[in-house]
Chain A
Amino acid sequence: MPNMLSNILGNIFARPATRAYPAVRRPPFSGARGHIVFDTKSCGFCGACSRRCPSAAIVINRTDKTLTFDPFRCIICEACVEVCPRKSIAVDSQYRAPAYVKTVEVHTLPAPPEEAPRAAG
């Protein structure tokens, strides 16, 4: 035990190596893979991300122009980010909080601005 004695004595007076997690949070690294965000304004609903996704987390309906994303299936591998031809998918470095209920995200094409009603005739 004498080899560890200085270590043990040092640890009695040192600060803890861990942090008080929910109260003190370490900011994520800049390239951290936190979660996937979609920008449907520029999305062409081509389905490249859906075909490449290894965990089948993205389902695209080309006729309805909807993208259904299951964040609880997603493994944040960035494969979809790499294949997206319009760069509509990005990775945010913030981690998502755990949840009790598993939900899916449905992204649709944003509604076009309403046109002024034409005069009849």
Chain B
Amino acid sequence: MSARTVIPFGPQHPVLPEPVQLRLTLEEERVVEAIPAIGYVHRGIEKAAELNEWVQNVFLVERICGICSFLHALCYCQGIETLLGVEPPPRARYLRVVWGELHRLHSHHLWLGLLADSFGFESLFMQFWRNREMIMDLLEMTAGNRVIVSTCTVGGTRRDIAQEQASEILRTLDKVQNELDKLLPVISNDYTVRSRTVGKGVLPKDKAIRLGAVGPVLRASGVAQDVRMIGYAAYGELGFTPVVEQAGDAHARLLVRMKETYQAIDLIRQALAHMPEGEIITRVRGNPRGRTISRVEQPRGEVVYYLAGNGTRNLERLRVRTPTFANVPALVQMLPGCELADVPVLVLSIDPCISCTER
């Protein structure tokens, strides 16, 4: 047996945008054990949510994550709406799909760029991030802000998308899709991409299910599971089918996310085409009482909110289970056996969002 070395990988590392530490035990260049350590960016958001009023919490939960802020707000609002027995108007449900999918689109662009960066493909990284700016401009045009859009509220949405804004969204999405068409062959066939991702970090189907993986990590292992299939917001009316790949390696996870960007563009087009006229918000009365679980599919996977209300303005408890937390056990199982140089690619392949996970 050769000598073992322990390398602290993170929390600050050139390719890791997120503060997670992995204590890697190596035999020569090969990883034999990985122990994750988190706790660098805990902000006490769950406690703050008990101190704030439930109306104000919409703005607080949006700040759990910068990349999927709208979907956190959506999950919270759906939970409160269940407790209050409120149904958002049909137009609001379609607007939620548009903003939700715009968020997924820009999140996947960000991730695709970061993955390219992790194996040194700088020009591909810049192409994706240049594309992403067009989507960020759409968010700023429709919601008034690039990242924290604050458009979702309990009972509906706070802003509407006018006809000329919808036309602008469709025009920009055509441009985005045109650019993606040039990058799809690079992602699927390019030698550099394939040599760094194919066959790396294989997660078989049974193991993915047993470890409780969620989102693109689970779908890349051949399991067709996506919370959008339960038809929240307007997904039930838009004919949604999840993107699934069978290989279970880093390349399959890459392909799932790449195909989901196309799917997000398609869902936004459908939502804008079928959007009914009418109100965007229902008036809400009273305070939430009771307990509920709310689930939403984020770019990284399924997020679960547990809400307990006691009939006052403050919630008794707000608990958030983020998708990265569910994917960390899968990551720890993926790493043993890989080369040290592949660790950044594999860590990024689960799309970690540690700030979400620690809240």
Contacts and interface: CB of A to CB of B under 8 A. Distances in A.
Contacts of B143: 31
A52 B56 contact: yes
B52 A54 contact: yes
B18 to A, nearest CB: 23
A108 B52 CA distance: 28
Contacts, number: 54
A75 B55 contact: no
A1 B144 contact: no
Nearest to B63: A75
Contact of A17 (B130, B142, B185): B130
Interface stretch (B92-100, B187-195, B219-227, B288-296): B187-195
A77 B150 contact: yes
A31 B148 contact: no
B59 A75 contact: yes
A32 B145 contact: yes
B186 interface: yes
Contacts of B192: 1
| Chain A residues touching B, majority SS | loop
B210 interface: no
B237 interface: no
14 contacts: A1-B191, A4-B124, A4-B186, A29-B141, A29-B144, A31-B141, A31-B142, A31-B143, A52-B55, A54-B52, A75-B59, A75-B148, A78-B150, A93-B144
A32 B144 contact: yes
Given A4-B186, A78-B158, A54 B191 contact: no
Contacts of B144: 29, 31-33, 78, 91, 93
Interface string B59-77: 1100000000000000000
